Amino acid sequence: MKILTRMGDSSNVELTLDELRKELEEGSEAAAKKAKIPILTENEFDYLADMFAAPTRIWGVQRGNEVVMTKDGCVNALNSSRMSSGVVAPVNREVGVRLFESMLGFDSMEVSHNDYSVKPQRFLKALEQLHMELLQETTIFPLLYGFMPNLGLYYRPDGSFENPSDLLPLGKIAEARRTQEEALQACMDDCILMSDCMVEMGADGIDYDTVASTGDAEFLAVLKTTEHVANETGLPVEIGMSSEMVLGFHGELEWDGVRLAGLWPHQQLELCEKAGTAIFGPVVNTNTRKTTPWNLARALTFVKACTEIAKIPIHANVGMGVGGVPMFETPAVDAVTRCSAAMIEIGKCDGL
């Protein structure tokens, strides 16, 4: 019997049951070896094998095991370009949020600008505040305000700080570290500004998305911001990561005595919890040259290591190119539903 599934780039691939099982085991082992965490159990491999072998187009969780969803990127999927899987619908943000609540059945929503990084959003502070304030009066579901810290925008040519990517190839290690330390302070100031201003607008929380995309310096900026926001304002903070490992562009930065470079999801979670995070979103990137069973088993192994120790809700990222889902701008429903359901049934996630 041949089982039809997908590669990490979303193209079709056929596997025998033995090949499928091998892909699942090797994916889980790849994560376990990297992060020094346990592989999935035999029962969990059985569930995944049955799920992938089922010929149905879609898959789902057992009734009663439903979880809640938080979201990044506001209504970009409606009114943005293909970069955000957007369909360029002529819908503004206020209408879009209402549609996500009532028509698309979302459990919560993030309010943010199309230009999703904190640096451009801070110039629109008053507008951002007004839309949060107005939407809180017309919707029922929780509204978080969100953005990407995106430390990369603070470096030349986009920003004013020297770019560590220019300095490192020249062997200017100390200079590269110093510019990251200076830039992270500016990024943190903007993150705090745009978080604090949402308290009186009635925001139900703040979502920092794609965290540590520029490595350990960005992760430090977000941990410090979270510490401030959680302790000083009481606003719940959701942290959604950008990849499974924090890259060490700086290499020596620490928070609470822990070196940030090289941290895996369960280690990132522990620091986020200490900083006061209310929801943690681990990310596991998809390898486009591997199969979806391999990618999903690998992602589940990382995520399960989080949910087993978490004191706060875990909302794993399950979207284009993360959480086992193929890297394709319109991900196939057979892959998305299987990855989502497995994240709940096997990964034991509290949300997605």
70 sits near other proteins (criterion: CB under 8 A): yes
What sections of 60-172 are H helices per DSSP? 76-79, 93-102, 118-122, 125-138, 164-167
Q: How far apart are CA 24 and CA 5, in angstroms?
A: 13
312 sits near other proteins (criterion: CB under 8 A): yes
68 sits near other proteins (criterion: CB under 8 A): yes
Is 234 or 257 the residue whose CB approaches other proteins more closely? 234
Could you tell me the smallest distance in angstroms from the CB atom of residue 75 to other proteins?
18
State which of positions 73-102 bind other proteins (CB under 8 A).
102
Cα dihedral 242, 244, 245, 247 sign: negative
114 sits near other proteins (criterion: CB under 8 A): no
136 sits near other proteins (criterion: CB under 8 A): yes
Q: Is residue 291 within a helix (H) or strand (E), and if so which, with residue range?
A: none
State which of positions 206-245 bind other proteins (CB under 8 A).
235-236
Q: For tokens 């990964």, what's the residue?
A: 347
153, 199, 227, 274: which one binds other proteins (CB under 8 A):
199
Q: How far apart are CA 145 and CA 113, in angstroms?
A: 10
200, 252, 254, 256: which one binds other proteins (CB under 8 A):
200
Measured from the Cβ of residue 182, the count of other Cβ atoms closer than 10 Å reads 15
Could you tell me the smallest distance in angstroms from the CB atom of residue 125 to other proteins?
17
303 sits near other proteins (criterion: CB under 8 A): no
Counting Cα atoms < 13 Å in the Cβ hemisphere of 111 gives 32
63 sits near other proteins (criterion: CB under 8 A): yes
157 Cβ contact list (under 8 Å, min separation 6): 163
50, 66, 254, 256: which one binds other proteins (CB under 8 A):
66
What DSSP assignment string belongs to 10-56? S-EEEE-HHHHHHHHHHHHHHHHHHHT-PPPPHHHHHHHHHHHH---
List interacting residues with other proteins (CB under 8 A).
Answer: 63-64, 66-68, 70, 102, 105, 108, 136-140, 142-143, 199-205, 235-236, 278-279, 310-313, 315, 350-351
